[in-house]
Chain A
Amino acid sequence: MKVKVVLGREERVVEVAEGATVAEVLRALGVNREEVVVRLRDAIVTEEEALRDGDTIELIRVISGG
């Protein structure tokens, strides 16, 4: 199945196995779960959440200067 991943202005589509979780998508992208919060269908979710084909997840980077 295909999942769209949005990080800031970047967008990419990742091909993952049916029923894959957010954690698996992060692993496929080499993103450490400690460094992002994930939004799926307007809600913030845990990395254990299972995804559906065509889902879009937004990654919010928690490492910020300030």
Chain B
Amino acid sequence: MVSCSICGERACYHRRYSGQRFCAEHFLEYFERKVKKTMLRYRMVERGERIGVAVSGGKDSLTLLRILDRLAGRLSLELHAILIDEGIANYREETIERARRFCEELGVPLRVLSFREHFRLALDEAVRLSHRNACTFCGVFRRKLLNDAARELGCDRLATGHNLDDEVQAILMNFLRGDLERLLRLGTRTRSERLVPRIKPLMEMPEKEVALYALLAGIPASFEECPYAVQSFRTEVREMINRLEESNPGIKFSILRSYQKLLPLLESYGVKQLQSCRTCGEPSSGERCRACLLLEELTRSASR
């Protein structure tokens, strides 16, 4: 039997990058302590703030909600869960139900916004009308609705469930594509009053640890994969990073730290100023925002 480094009980996790082994109880304790430390280190929240929490019903967002809920009392935080229903048949219904049940259990109010209601079409329909892949629409429209909802609710911050793996994948993807503008945007503060500042409390937690936390804490999260998840560039990058991590434990943290050290240099490269979208008035890096451009493209396809 493999034992916990703290109490000698049976271990359920070997944290290879530090050599420690944890039983279920000590893993849960370690995980919560570390998320709290990350939030303090990056000064993610201040006492008394109203926090919008983006939830999907998956392991990352429900784990995030549970941890923020446990900290809410001590820090006088007011939580509002926000869920975006993209309109993905035979997938979203179940995850929405899981999120709804968990929010009820914690007593956190939930606001649900849908693509259909706000853009007049579900993601499934957008995909049928376009040659683009689902993730393009999903990412752009979801970010917009999350920000709209957080702003309407008067949130001081918008928390998302991005974990260490998500962060490191994004860093390498932007680097490999030579997209310095996006690489820079990943680590810089919001540049518009209309954008609710984002926080990522799980950004230093490896994906495997988040999944383990969700399982051990009995969080009713979905482990189903989105039907639109395909063999993409992100998948290739993820597999490459995980191969490296397997033979060099801790490399995901090294990539994150290298990025953080490079950030001041990247900033001297110049942060592009945001302007207001000519159509909707929302912050945009170009004359018109990506959401308006995509919607126009879809309307044209629909009328053909």
> Using a CB–CB distance below 8 Å, which chain A residues touch chain B?
32-37, 43-49, 60-66
Contacts and interface: CB of A to CB of B under 8 A. Distances in A.
26 contacts: A32-B239, A32-B242, A32-B243, A34-B242, A34-B246, A35-B208, A44-B13, A44-B216, A45-B2, A45-B10, A46-B11, A46-B21, A48-B2, A60-B211, A61-B223, A61-B225, A62-B211, A62-B212, A64-B211, A65-B224, A65-B226, A66-B57, A66-B58, A66-B60, A66-B161, A66-B226
Given A45-B2, A45-B12, A46-B14, A34 B208 contact: yes
Contacts of B21: 46
A22 B210 CA distance: 20
Interface of B: 1-2, 10-14, 21, 24, 56-61, 95, 161, 206-208, 210-212, 215-216, 221-226, 228-229, 238-239, 242-243, 245-246
A3 B180 CA distance: 48
Contacts of A36: 208
Nearest to A48: B2
A47 B206 CA distance: 16
Given A65-B229, A66-B95, A60 B2 contact: no
Contacts, number: 80
A65 to B, nearest CB: 3
Contacts of B246: 32-34
Of B59, B161, B223, B242, the most chain A CB neighbours within 10 A belong to: B223
Nearest to A32: B242
Contacts of A65: 58, 224-226, 228-229
Contacts of A49: 1-2
B150 to A, nearest CB: 19
